[in-house]
């Protein structure tokens, strides 16, 4: 018997993944896959809730995201990678859960509220978007996930999931569904190259895992640093400086990094030198990833086969859960 705890995460496929994804989740997944029964979901149905008019983008991004996963070392032998839209049990569970959630509760979900503002939906919020927390509860509970590693912006999703789990188990009088616990990564988010709080595709301030050397060079050399560090001899600010935040995340030589920080803070260390060092560090980090990606890119059919294989394994699990759910709901 497999006694491993279940862990589940997911990404909306709306573009390639960037360094922020790596520190926020991909690195963790590579670590967790030995210890846990890990599911990673490419949430294409959820992507449609705010990208309904861009089906080609989503389709293209599914392969892109798969390549990102495989090239950073998420191993399909250890991790079940699945495509959400091919698990019909998820929308079915969603329909049942929707009756356990009030409209008012959905309107006040902080993540949803914040995203509505960010995406500038105004009065035209798609109904599918409003209910995506319920669909995400179905993602999580279909696999009886014990743990869900997410950025702190997704915490309200886990809360809402657990409310559904408790209500379901109470009303139908059986412990069918399992409560999930959020795991928040150490570095929850990486700033953008523009110094913005979050690296994101929408803000156009991201370094992608699939960027080539030239692109990375341009991005790193144009990075925001400390705007008051005008002359090399001036003391510079390390705290909140994206170049040093990235070095903290990716430079394995912490001793040398501490020396650089001290030097920068004291004055006499120029931004260009720091950026060149960061460039080397990122190149060293990305080179093996890039090589692995090249191998997988040669055979996209194989990559999609891996996804289909994971999906069919996942469907068996979801189907068992759905049977149990329908059973206690007297739907047979
Ligand atoms: N909402 C998540 C995001 O935007 C993606 C996601 C979909 C997810 N289903 C999930 C995350 C289930 C964790 C668990 O990043």
Q: What confidence score (pLDDT) does residue 188 get?
A: 66
The per-residue pLDDT for 266 is: 94
Give the pLDDT score at 2.
59
Atom of ligand 1 at shortest distance to CA of 46?
7
Q: Could you please report the per-residue DSSP string of 84-132? A: GGG-THHHHHHHHHHTTS-HHHHHT-HHHHHHHHHTT-TT---HHHHTH
Say if ligand 1 is within 6 A of residue 109 CB. Answer: no
The pick from 12, 50, 84 for probing ligand 1's pocket by mutation, whose C-beta has the most ligand atoms within 8 angstroms, reads: 12
Helices (H), the chain: 19-21, 27-32, 44-51, 55-72, 89-98, 103-107, 110-118, 127-130, 132-142, 155-171, 213-221, 242-250, 254-266, 271-297, 300-328
- Going residue by residue through the chain, which has 332 residues, state the pLDDT in tens, using 9 for 90 and above: 558 999 999 999 999 999 999 998 999 999 999 999 999 999 999 999 999 999 999 999 999 999 999 999 999 999 999 999 999 999 999 999 999 999 999 999 999 999 999 888 888 999 999 999 999 999 999 999 999 998 888 899 999 999 999 999 999 999 999 999 999 887 768 999 999 988 988 889 999 999 999 999 999 999 999 998 889 999 999 999 999 999 999 999 999 999 999 999 999 999 999 999 999 999 999 999 999 999 999 999 999 999 999 999 999 999 999 999 999 999 98
pTM equals 0.94
Question: Ligand 1 mean position to 104 CA, how many Å?
Answer: 22
Query: Which residue has a Cα nearest atom 10 of ligand 1?
Result: 10
64 lines ligand 1 (CB under 6 A): no
Ligand 1 pocket mutation pick from 9, 87, 132, 142 by most atoms within 8 angstroms of CB? 9
> What pLDDT was estimated at residue 152?
82
> Is residue 11 in contact with ligand 1, taking CB distance under 6 Å?
yes
Contact 314, 80 (CB under 8 A): yes
pLDDT at 1: 54
């Amino acid at each position: 018997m497999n006694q491993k705890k279940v862990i589940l995460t997911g990404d909306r496929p709306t573009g390639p993944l960037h360094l922020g994804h790596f520190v926020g989740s991909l690195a963790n997944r590579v670590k967790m896959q030995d210890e846990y029964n890990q599911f990673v979901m490419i949430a294409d149905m959820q992507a449609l809730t705010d990208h309904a008019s861009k089906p080609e983008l989503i389709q293209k991004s599914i392969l892109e995201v798969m390549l990102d996963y495989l090239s950073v070392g998420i191993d399909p032998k250890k991790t079940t990678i699945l495509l959400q839209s091919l698990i019909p049990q998820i929308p079915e569970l969603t329909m049942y859960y929707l009756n356990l959630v009030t409209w008012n509760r959905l309107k006040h979900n902080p993540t949803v509220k914040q995203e509505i503002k960010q995406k500038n939906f105004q009065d035209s919020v798609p109904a599918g978007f409003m209910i995506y927390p319920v669909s995400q509860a179905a993602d999580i509970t279909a696999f009886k996930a014990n743990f869900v590693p997410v950025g702190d912006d997704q915490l309200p999703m886990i809360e809402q999931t657990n409310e559904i789990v408790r209500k379901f188990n109470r009303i139908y009088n059986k412990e069918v569904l399992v409560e999930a616990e959020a795991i928040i990564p150490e570095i929850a988010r990486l700033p953008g190259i523009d110094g913005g709080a979050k690296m994101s595709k929408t803000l156009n301030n991201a370094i992608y895992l699939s960027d080539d050397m030239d692109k990375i060079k341009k991005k790193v050399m144009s990075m925001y640093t400390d705007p008051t560090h005008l002359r090399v001899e001036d003391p510079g600010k390390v705290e909140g400086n994206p170049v040093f935040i990235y070095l903290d995340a990716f430079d394995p030589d912490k001793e040398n990094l501490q020396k650089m920080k001290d030097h920068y803070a004291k004055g006499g260390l120029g931004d260009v030198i720091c950026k060149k060092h960061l460039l080397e560090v990122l190149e060293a980090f990305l080179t093996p990833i890039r090589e692995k990606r090249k191998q997988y890119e040669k055979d996209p059919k194989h990559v999609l086969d891996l996804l289909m294989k994971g999906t069919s394994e996942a469907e068996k699990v979801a189907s068992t859960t759905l049977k149990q759910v329908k059973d206690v709901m007297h739907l047979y």
